[in-house]
């Protein structure tokens, strides 16, 4: 097993099939660690996605074991409305079963290929992805495998939201500040990844590739040899940063400029996540989302926050356990309210943002009561709170 791993999510030694009915006939997809299946919790009837991480046979493979440790630790640490949530970990003789939120809307890649996006629709989804990357990069985490297959829609329909999955290649930058091992899918790799020295800016290049595909329904880099896609030729195009926009396109100059700002060979010049939020093409949408956050919160929500702060420790624990039993639509509503608190769209709520929300809602609390209400939401930090 993974030595000394302190799991922050619910962990058990139960047999998976004692608690969940697994649909192995129709896998949802395949990640770095293996197949992902749909499962239903026998007691509650709630649906989840189940992924199995195997440790059997790789105990002496340092790199693979390190990848498994990293994925588990990062999934435990991640708490963001647009990152798939790890709900439970069940130990198995040959590894771990990860019980995660179920996303039923399919891969972003499927929608790119089958339907495509208007520029306005693409802009909204790209802003979501950038906000998510800012959250990761602020924590010094590099995803290392951003591609349309790793962005899932939470449901079918035009109002579906994206969630990021698969942290099998992800890494903390730590003190080294640079990564050296090439990870990810060639089509989405940044030039500096091939050189063996990269950081979070490599994710921004990958996002530029995804954005290009959403706007033009084709990949920006595709080297052909004998009328077939050739990875070596594609790699050379990527390293040189050679791509062209379709000659006749209705995509705006601002959108094209945004893509150019991400598909810049020099990572020191390439836009960061925070800079991308302020680009002319996204700024109006970003500012509009921030303005939405300045609306007063519903009286019921602020009242419940105040009531929650007055509960005993045991009562809060019971309430948090019940929260894990919420249905997906209820969780979606809570996410909407969380994002109203999150003024900077960095995936966390600061004490100042929390205080601002109460002021906008004309809720009169003295500083001690306000601090108590904020602290009672979770044990993350006296000055910041995560989504759950």
List 67, 79, 145, 166, catalytic entry: 145
Percent of the chain, pLDDT > 70? 72
Please give the domain boundaries of the chain with CATH numbers for all domains.
10-101 (3.30.200.20), 108-290 (1.10.510.10), 294-385 (no CATH)
* pLDDT at residue 318, rounded to an integer: 39
- Asked whether 209 and 187 are in contact (CB, 8 A), the reply is yes
Joined tokens for residue 5: 């791993």
- Whether 166 is catalytic is no
Quote the strand ranges of the chain, DSSP E.
10-12, 20-23, 29-31, 34-41, 47-54, 86-92, 95-101, 141-142, 151-153, 162-164, 171-172, 224-225, 228-229, 349-350, 384-385
* pLDDT at residue 335, rounded to an integer: 56
- In whole angstroms, what is the distance from residue 167 CA to residue 32 CA? 9
In whole angstroms, how far apart are CA 173 and each of 62, 143, 194, 198?
18, 11, 18, 10
* pLDDT at residue 262, rounded to an integer: 98
* pLDDT at residue 387, rounded to an integer: 45
- With b for 16 or more beta-carbon neighbours within 10 A and e for fewer, the 276-309 pattern comes to bbebebbeebbeebeeebeeebeeebbeebbeeb
> Chain-wide mean pLDDT for the chain?
81
**Which 3 state secondary structure label does DSSP give 115?**
coil
Give the single-character DSSP code of 154.
S
Averaged over 309-331, what is the pLDDT?
45
Residue 295's pLDDT band, with cuts at 50, 70 and 90, is: low
- In whole angstroms, what is the distance from residue 136 CA to residue 140 CA? 7
The single residue listed with the structure tokens 């020099």 is 266
Give the single-character DSSP code of 81.
T
Quickly list H helices, 91-190. 108-114, 119-138
Q: Pick from 6, 4, 14, 102: which is nearest to 51 by CA?
A: 102
pLDDT (tens digit per residue) in 51-63: 887 777 676 777 7
pLDDT (tens digit per residue) in 132-166: 999 999 999 999 999 999 999 999 988 899 999 98
* pLDDT at residue 148, rounded to an integer: 97
């Amino acid at each position: 097993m993974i030595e000394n791993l302190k799991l922050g999510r619910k962990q058990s030694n139960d047999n998976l099939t004692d608690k969940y009915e697994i649909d192995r006939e129709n896998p949802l997809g395949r990640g770095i660690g293996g197949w992902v299946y749909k499962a239903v919790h026998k007691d509650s009837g709630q649906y989840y996605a189940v992924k199995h991480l195997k440790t059997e046979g790789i105990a002496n493979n340092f790199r693979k074991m390190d990848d498994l440790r990293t994925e588990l630790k990062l999934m435990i640490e991640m708490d963001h409305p647009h990152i798939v949530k790890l709900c439970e970990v069940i130990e198995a003789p040959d590894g771990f079963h990860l019980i995660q939120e179920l996303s039923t809307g399919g891969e972003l890649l499927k929608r790119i290929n089958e339907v495509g996006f208007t520029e306005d629709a693409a802009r909204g989804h790209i802003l979501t992805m950038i906000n998510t990357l800012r959250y990761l990069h602020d924590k010094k985490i590099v995803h290392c495998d951003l591609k349309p297959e790793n962005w899932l829609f939470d449901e079918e329909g035009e109002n579906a939201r994206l969630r990021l999955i698969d942290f099998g290649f992800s890494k903390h930058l730590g003190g080294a500040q640079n990564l050296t091992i090439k990870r990810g899918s060639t089509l989405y790799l940044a030039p500096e990844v091939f050189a063996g020295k990269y950081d979070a800016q490599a994710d921004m290049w990958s996002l530029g590739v995804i954005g290009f595909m959403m706007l033009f329904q084709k990949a920006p880099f595709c080297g052909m040899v004998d009328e077939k896609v050739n990875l070596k030729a594609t790699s050379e195009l990527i390293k040189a940063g050679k791509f062209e926009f379709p000659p006749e396109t209705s995509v705006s100059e601002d959108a094209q400029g945004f893509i150019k700002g991400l598909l810049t060979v020099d990572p020191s010049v390439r836009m960061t996540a925070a800079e991308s939020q302020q680009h002319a093409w996204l700024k109006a949408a970003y500012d509009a989302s921030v303005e939405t956050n300045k609306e007063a919160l519903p009286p019921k929500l602020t009242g419940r926050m105040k009531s929650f702060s007055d509960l005993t420790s045991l009562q809060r624990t019971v309430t948090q356990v019940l929260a894990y039993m919420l249905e997906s639509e209820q969780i979606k509503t809570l996410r909407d309210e969380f994002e109203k608190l999150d003024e900077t769209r960095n995936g966390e709520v600061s004490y100042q943002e929390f205080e601002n929300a109460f002021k906008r809602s004309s809720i009169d609390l003295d500083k001690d009561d306000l601090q108590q209400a904020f602290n009672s939401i979770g044990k993350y930090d006296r000055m910041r709170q995560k989504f759950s």
